[in-house]
Structure 1
Amino acid sequence: MDRRTVLKAFAALAVCPACTGTGFAAEGVHWSYEGDNGPARWGDLDAADKACSLGAQQSPIDITATIKSRLPALKIAWSKTADTIVNNGHTIQLNFAEGSTLKLGDVAYKLLQVHFHRPSEHLVGGKKFPMEAHFVHRADSGGLAVVGVLLTEGKPNATFARIVATMPAREGPAVKADAGINPNGLLPHKRSYYRYSGSLTTPPCSEVVEWLLLTTPMPVAAGDVAAFAKLYPMNARPVQKDNRRYVLQSE
């Protein structure tokens, strides 16, 4: 799947996630995950955020029944480094320079950023995971494709460990990322995925996202999850109604 430096959403959502926090908050509006400006109120905070309360294809969802389908393989060609890292007041985010891509069928997307949620925003069969990573991509048309990776506690992951070790402890401007952070290290070997049409999980909640949630979780060290939780103990939007949307599952 942020913050005050954002571009307002419009129909096609030609936004620049890499220029914002988790990408995509309405300009000048303070929103949060709890309290008076929490998820239940997002749709009332700004006229540009009405989709948060009125939308019919909101994310995240609880993935239960799926339809096995011959979906195209995820052709991922990412750089082995990130450009910058930022604590934007809502999450930790890494931004990427030009050159990292995702191809889904005939559509090519550019990788803009990855950010993290605790606990996971998507559920699978009612189950939450300790964390979830969202790799945000954008096509030239303005459409977005987000590759979601569920993170579970277990064997240490070198990429996530380096992110946690170097993440800014306080909200502030982006700084140069550690050259050893390889985003490919957060991808499981098996690339099967769930696919459905949804939205951004932060204001303005625009319904322009092709969600590609990998079915195989990635283990990361429990200590690294705990370190992230010291900064963000809870930064996940609650599950939204699926409104009879089909969720496809690759073979």
Structure 2
Amino acid sequence: MLVKPIRLKLIACVLATLPLYSAASEWSYSGHNSPDHWAGLDANGDYATCAKGTHQSPIDIPSTSATHVKAASASLSINYQRSPLDVVNNGHSIQANVTGDNSLQFQGKTYKLVQFHFHSPSEHLYSGKRFPMEMHWVNQASDGSLLVVAAMIKSGDKNTQLEHIWSKMLPQKKGAHVQLSQEQAPDLGKILPSSSKHFFYKGSLTTPPCTEGVQWVLFEKLLELSPDQISAFQSVFTGNNRPAEAINQREIDED
């Protein structure tokens, strides 16, 4: 789904305050500014979709009943590599802003990787199961449309690629940055789960302004982080996940 021109200015502002967070009003994951109240936090009504939208994310993926689409996997090609990163604590997550030539193609359209970030616990569920963490890669096409690649994270072996970030100390305070050169940064292509099927569905940003028209691609295969790596993230952020939204009879495809 293409984002209408009237939304492009909003999306540009959203991307400028990554990870896709509007600066219009303070919001959080708990208390009076929690997800239940997001829609009323912006005086201009820009957050109204958080309550009124019918294609919101995240969702509980009913994997046993997903539609099998043979052509879907052939239409997805991800081309990520080792690139300089600006890792920042933005007050809502640890986010890595990406430079360099990182892109993906989906259904004939090219998207450029803008940033990736983490949630704990996971925002999406698989057949009712929630995971310790979730990683999002946010990609944008030249027309402003967005595609988010997601992978659920379980406790297991140390992730040697993400350790490039963890070993530099995750920024502890809001606004703190850690710069990683190309040589210091992880190989983004090697972080992706290998030989995995995917779920595909149309949804929204999982943060205000909850803009819809976002294409989601979720890896079925899980990423692994060690218990220490998960604990290190959770010592900075935990509970930074939006609750699952209603599917509302949306089609969920599986390749």
Give TM-score, length-normalised by structure 1. Answer: 0.91
Residue in 1 aligned with 2:143?
141
CA contact 1:194–1:248 (8 Å) conserved in 2: yes
Aligned residues of 2:201 and 2:253 also touching (Cα < 8 A) = yes
- Is the 2:67–2:253 Cα contact (8 Å) retained in structure 1? yes
C-alpha offsets along residues 102-134 of structure 1, whole Å, 9 cap, x if unaligned?
001210000000000001100000000110000
Q: Secondary structure at the match of 2:234?
A: helix
Q: What's the CA shift for 1:18?
A: 4.9
Give structure 1 stretches of 5+ with no counterpart: 1-8
Instruction: Check the 8 A contact 1:155/1:219 in 2, yes or no.
Output: yes
Shift of 1:36: 0.3
- SS for the counterpart of 1:14 is helix
What corresponds to 1:29 in structure 2? 25
Given residue 11 of structure 2, which amino acid in structure 1 is its aligned partner? A
Contact 2:119/2:238 (8 A) holds in 1: no
The CA RMSD over aligned residues, in Å, is 1.7
Amino acid at match of 1:234: G
**Deviation digits for residues 127-162 of structure 1 (CA, Å, limit 9, x no counterpart):** 001100000000111110000011111011112222
- CA displacement 1:82-105 (0-9 Å, x = unmatched): 321100000000011141100012
- Other-structure match for 1:160: 162
Query: 1:17 deviation in Å?
Result: 5.5
Written as runs of structure 1 = structure 2, the 5 A alignment for 1:1-251 is: 11-12=7-8, 13-15=10-12, 18-25=15-22, 27-46=23-42, 47-64=45-62, 65-70=65-70, 71-73=72-74, 74-166=76-168, 167-177=170-180, 179-250=184-255
SS at 2:210's partner residue? coil
Query: Which one-letter code corresponds to 1:129 in the other structure?
Result: F
In the other structure, the counterpart of 1:5 is: none
In 2, Cα distance between equivalents of 1:196 and 1:66: 10
C-alpha distance in structure 1 between counterparts of 2:210 and 2:129, whole Å: 23
Contact 1:72 1:105 in 2 (8 A): no
Q: Which amino acid aligns with 1:42?
A: W
Stretches of structure 2 that go unaligned for 5 or more consecutive residues are none
